[in-house]
Structure 1
């Protein structure tokens, strides 16, 4: 899922453009149909509860004034103070969701049904489609390696404010804007060099925004000390969901003899003797330890954690995750 449209440098602001290849358009159309048929309403309903409802959420109390709606009387406070009080309600407001999408070179890898990059775009499509309704706004920051690049198509960037391949797509409402955002994500080409996941997450912290939902989509192969602190900072103000994309070969090696392995971010080539059972065991133990540390740091940051694999049904995994989240919240409110 690639496109010839390169990505501008860090700090760039874009405006929508449909300048992506026909294959990308076809894939996005299929994703939209899939999400509409099988996920419609699940994720949207799950996250709508993170913010106050449509004028019915209880707020602070104040003394009764002539003309106030008597249906808003706060009887417990009235009885306690012997002075009539009414309960204010919190006005309805739109949900603002921000995606931090990691599309560095390590995502251009996959030995299952899809590349990790395809799963990242699919997850972004599901979140975008289900979040944008009801006047909700969605924006994104996209990371794509560290090499400089020039803008292309009808995206019109402002002068870059710093080094790196981090781009901000402003939060907007409406289906057309959401489709343009998805085209921009799907049309992002990976760049050589290691991406900075910590800097990508930190872009969601600046400038400070009102409370909303922040979603970080990455393979989280970067060291936790790079991104753990920005994640904790992000959780102070927002509800955070971390979507970790994993390939089975990152968890264990097959017994296939000498296996050439290339680091997609640096281009380094290594030959690994996978026939050695001790090497495969050490690799599996190191991979398990790395994933466990990632889960621990995400839990410490207070982020919800969803793991998607390239060899399983990502849509079914999302449905199960949403159902589990809803069950946990319902159980917590009824105890």
Structure 2
């Protein structure tokens, strides 16, 4: 029983790839071999163990603080015993019940002859009476078998195998990027892969390109079947919107906004609101708002920032930003 269930675990691989082929790729074969599971049994069990969707998993890691270089790894997911417990238990119960039913029929000549007769009559039965009778008998036998304590032990068998045999199969099978087809859209940087056995790849974003992220598509032909996966690679920046203006009762104040020392917003006349969107790299930036005109010596101002976090600085609205006075904020642009 344990060998059968172990085989089921080892056979639970991405569809439509065959279990034996996956096992032959490397790490999994040692796990299944340690369990003493013949490959022929794995292939046979694969016929009734449900398959998992076929896709590659791309794991992305960005250095902290961001450097513009993103690390990625590619894995072929292999569902382990937990997937078997969740998805295959009822199928295993049905399969075992059918096997036991067949064994009972072989041991009981009278019952076997009856079933043969009903099967023969069912093929000639115009109204389906014998076919329904045959189905009812087979169903009754299977339900009786499934109600026995033996079937009740399947769940504990699954847990035992999960703990002792194929638990490690929850991990994915690493694939070297150099052995996969890689495509980046939009390609605004440099893709780097190592040797054929190196499991890590890198993407260097071009800091002059105003792109917050790119999409990496990886594909690999495994046992004649092409499977692929996608992931978003952060390029270390995003769009931030700044809005300033005079929010006092009298529209009479003029302001200037600088970001990292460069003037981005100003006006020749007092305005209620002016905005500008900037692409800023991930990390800290300095924002300054300067009073340029305040006829009544009351500088009523507001500053709104969307797309970044304010780390420090004075209030974002007030009445004291007078001529030549400078308010400074530190903001943080997080990876998208």
TM range (shorter): under 0.3
- Please, what TM-score do these two structures have when normalized by structure 2? 0.25
Instruction: Give the greater-gyration-radius structure (CA).
Output: 2
Greater relative contact order (Cα < 8 A, sep 6+): 1
